[in-house]
Amino acid sequence: MDKNSLTGVILIVLIVVGYNAMFPPVVETETPQEENNTTVVLEEKEEVIEQNSTSLSLDTALVNEAHERSFGVFAPSATGSEDAITVENEKLLLSISPKGGRIISAILKDYQRSDSLPLNLIDKDSSDFNITFFSEGNRIINTEDLYFQATNQSDQSVSMRLMASNGGYLEYVYNLSNEDFIMDFQINTVDLEDIIPSNRNELELNWTINLPHTEKSMDNERMYSTVYYKYLNDDVDYLSETKDDEETLDGRAQWIGLKHQFFSTVFINNAGFEKPTSVSAVTNEGSERFVRKLSLETTLPYKHQSSESIPLQIYFGPNHYETLSAYDMELERMIPLGWGIFRWVNKYAVIPIFNWLDNSITNYGIIILIMTLIIKMVLAPFTLKAYKSQAKMKVLKPEIDKINEKHKDKDPMKAQQETMALYKKTGVNPLGGCIPMLLQMPILFALFRFFPASIELRQKSFLWADDLSSYDSVLNLPFEIPFYGDHVSLFTLLMTVSTILYTRMNSQMSGPQMAQMKWMMYLMPIMFLGFFNNYASGLSYYYFLANMVTFGQQFVMRKYFIDEAAILTQMENNKKKPVKKSKFQKRLEDMAKKQQEATSKRK
């Protein structure tokens, strides 16, 4: 390199070093960039939140607009809390839902289901209580769609108000009293006269309860579950218990009862329900949870006043005769004690005796035993008379057989006339054994209705039976026998065997007329075996006891009160006396003679 080149390189190096020394490079950090990115993200989030808020506001506005279109002035009540409110006393625990303001649970504290769970008369999801009415713009308002607000709440009462935007409201007032199954229920309207159109003068009320399965036997529950109703100052009536039924009531009903086998929910209006009022009962075939669906539809008057009130009452309780009769509204007629004379026997004889024993004895098997002995002792004179009549027929049987053999295949009418003449001479009434038995029939049928309907026997055990109001089972079958069932009831078997033995003993003392029906007398106990196998074990137990007591009575009466030799002697003496014929007997004889002459002429 020459001198000039070397000088140029040195100058270039000096220039570069000097420039870098005078103007050092600026190193940029990443912090400003990160802050910038964070600012962008925050701005994006704020934009999203603002968009969501705008969307929510738009959705709320749309919902409010929909509520306004559907419910009008009741739109503010379209939303609310669903937390249930409870009221209770010593007997009842009621749960009330703000939605619809309705009762969603009615628990009886002193009772349990057959599976030991609390006894609840109302299932929330399968029941309905709704009032329907028209509001402004001819909107149809259903209270079940709206939310009520609870006011004036205490342990035993609460007011549920369905508020309108003008400050008016529809109100349900629930009020329980101490130790009572009846609840006061009042429906009030306040400042709704400008909301409900002037041409609408009624509120429509609908109450539906799907009766829950609470007892041991579903078949027995359905057999005794239906709707009962009583007209003002008139009799009690009810829908069919065996098939689906509905009825539009002809008059104003004082109360309408949605009746279960042992419990009822009764809607009471002492002023009478307005027409039209209709009731229905539908069986839930195949359901294992519900027995029958019972419904009530009626109307409540509205007079367009600023404040109106409709006082009602609701009974949630047992079908206990003394409890229901204490209200003096004929509610006890819901207990199926039979009709006519059978109900009178239960009302004035069986129930007083049962209650008298119930006051001092706690074992219901012993109560039934003592009651059986009392009834059989009262009927003993009639039983003795029937046995004497049968003994007379037995003594006459050889002579009657001779008469029948004499006229066999010749003249049946002549045989009948001679048989009747023999009865007259000996002073024997061929129906003498039937009449005393017929006098016992009202008691027999009355008890047939009493035991299955008696709530006192519910869930009361005796020996192997765990519930005297339902069937007893000593053996559960792995299959179902038609007309019998899938279990074996020992009380029913004992009743059937004892009845067959009684029939055999009775046929030995009966006359020829009863002998002709012998096959039917043996067939009846076999037929009842299938029917009673699923029936109340308390009833089968009573019939078994009655048969056993009857065996004892027969033994005692035959040994000490019936002397066949003396009876024969008395009848022989009667033959020697002149026969006094009544006018009726003469007419019968004349008719028989005319019939015989006409037969001879035709031959």
Q: H/E/C letters for each residue in 88-123? A: ECCCEEEEECCECCCEEEEEEEEEECCCCCEEECCC
Residues 220 and 105 in one domain: yes
Same domain, 318 and 378: no
> What pLDDT shows up at residue 388?
74
Looking at 315, 336, 357, which one is the last position of a domain?
Answer: 336
> 106: which strand partners?
94
214 and 134, same structural domain?
A: yes
| Average pLDDT for 442-468 | 91
Residue 355 lies in a domain: yes
The residues, ordered by sequence, that sit 6+ positions from 404 with a Cβ below 8 Å of its Cβ are 415, 419, 512
pLDDT for 31: 45
Q: Averaged over 385-409, what is the pLDDT? A: 71
pLDDT above 50 for 232:
yes
The whole-number pLDDT of residue 409 equals 66
Task: Using the predicted structure, report yes or no on whether residue 456 has a pLDDT greater than 50.
Answer: yes
Q: Is residue 35 included in any domain, yes or no?
A: no
In contact, 528 and 496? CB cutoff 8 Å: yes
Q: Which residues contact 202 (CB under 8 A, 6 or more apart)?
A: 133, 274, 299, 300, 301, 302
Could you say which of 308, 336, 364 is where a domain stops? 336
Number of H helices, E strands in the chain: 16, 21
Residue at 292 is within a domain: yes
> Would residue 592 count as lying in a domain?
no
Its domain, for residue 454, covers: 347-576
Instruction: Give the range with max mean pLDDT: 294-298, 385-389, 413-417.
Output: 294-298
Range in 50-54, 257-261, 350-354 the model is least confident about: 50-54
b vs e for 365-403, b when ≥16 Cβ sit within 10 Å of the residue's Cβ?
Answer: bebbbebbeebbeebeeebbbbbbbbbbbbbbeeebeeb
Same domain, 425 and 566: yes
d(CA 152, CA 149): 10
Question: Within this chain, do residues 203 and 243 fall inside the same structural domain, yes or no?
Answer: yes
Q: Are residues 325 and 354 in the same domain?
A: no
At residue 578, the pLDDT reads 58
Are 399 and 325 members of one domain? Answer: no
CA distances from 76 to 57, 146, 149, 525, 541 (A): 17, 9, 11, 68, 62
Instruction: Give CA–CA dist 231/329, Å, rounded.
Output: 11
Higher pLDDT, 433 or 180: 180
Beta strands 139-142 and 149-151: pairing type?
Answer: unpaired
User: For residues 352 and 401, which has the higher predicted lDDT (pLDDT)?
Assistant: 352
Q: Are residues 368 and 483 in the same domain?
A: yes
Residues 354 and 332 in one domain: no
> Residue 290 pairs with which residues in a beta bridge?
212
Residues 161-172: what's their mean pLDDT?
A: 92
d(CA 111, CA 155): 21
Identify whether residues 256 and 360 lie together within a single domain.
no
pLDDT at res. 42 = 52
Whether the pLDDT of residue 296 is over 70: the answer is yes
What average pLDDT does the structure give for the chain?
A: 82
Closest alpha carbon to 325 in 356, 355, 357, 347: 347
Confidence of residue 206 (pLDDT cuts 50, 70, 90): very high
Residue 253's domain is classified under what CATH number?
2.70.98.90
The number of folded domains in the chain is 2
595, part of any domain: no
- The pLDDT, as a whole number, for residue 482 is 84
Query: In this structure, is residue 387 part of a structural domain?
Result: yes
374 domain-assigned: yes
Q: Are 173 and 183 in contact (CB under 8 A)?
A: no
- Distance (Å, rounded) from C-alpha 344 to C-alpha 357? 19
pLDDT at 25 exceeding the cut of 50: yes
Shared domain check, 360 and 273: no
Residue pLDDT, tens place only, 487-536 = 899 999 999 888 888 877 766 555 445 555 566 677 777 888 888 888 89
> Region 140-167: what's the mean pLDDT?
92
Of all residues in the chain, the percent with pLDDT exceeding 70 is 75
Integer Cα distance of 416 and 436 in angstroms? 24
Position 14 in a domain: no
Tens-digit pLDDT profile for residues 354-386: 999 999 998 999 999 999 999 888 888 887 877
Please indicate, yes or no, whether residues 332 and 352 belong to a single structural domain of this protein.
no
Domain finish residue from 280, 304, 336: 336
Confidence at residue 28, expressed as pLDDT on a 0 to 100 scale = 44
